[in-house]
């Protein structure tokens, strides 16, 4: 886990979160200069956690659904679009073109 402390003095990330996530390594780094402007305050702590074993990470990424969002078109890994929150359409429902034709005629 990589931790960058701003002006907020708290040990919650290192004392509570890291042990509960069973973090195997902890490293502190300076807070990026852009962070206070991005978050609107300097009272913050940023952290990043990752899987150090690339083969495990590869298996996780390769095992989930990948495709394009049917709603907004961006690349999606998993079941929900991170941009518009759309879920994949049900395969039992008629395609959008059938629905548009049905409403246009009636």
pLDDT given at position 98: 52
Query: Is residue 24 within 8 Å of 56, Cβ to Cβ?
Result: no
Per domain, the residue ranges of the chain are 2-50, 54-90
pLDDT given at position 12: 92
pLDDT given at position 65: 83
Query: Is residue 18 within 8 Å of 1, Cβ to Cβ?
Result: yes
Low-confidence ranges of the chain (pLDDT < 50): 106
Query: Is residue 52 within 8 Å of 65, Cβ to Cβ?
Result: no
Say whether pTM exceeds 0.85: no
Which residue has tokens 């009272």?
43
pLDDT tens-digit map of 60-82:
888 888 889 988 999 988 888 88
Name every residue whose Cβ is closer than 8 Å to that of residue 6 and which is 6 or more positions away in sequence. 31, 35, 36, 41, 42, 43, 44, 45, 46
């Amino acid at each position: 886990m990589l931790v960058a402390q701003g002006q907020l003095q708290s040990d919650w990330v290192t004392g509570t979160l890291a042990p509960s996530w069973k973090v195997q390594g902890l490293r502190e780094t300076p807070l990026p200069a852009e962070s206070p402007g991005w978050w609107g305050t300097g009272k913050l702590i940023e952290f990043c956690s990752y899987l150090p074993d690339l083969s495990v990470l590869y298996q996780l990424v390769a095992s989930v659904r990948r495709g394009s969002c049917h709603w907004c078109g961006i690349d999606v890994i998993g079941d929900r679009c991170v941009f518009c929150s759309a879920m994949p359409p049900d395969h039992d429902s008629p395609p959008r073109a059938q629905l548009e034709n049905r409403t246009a005629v009636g």
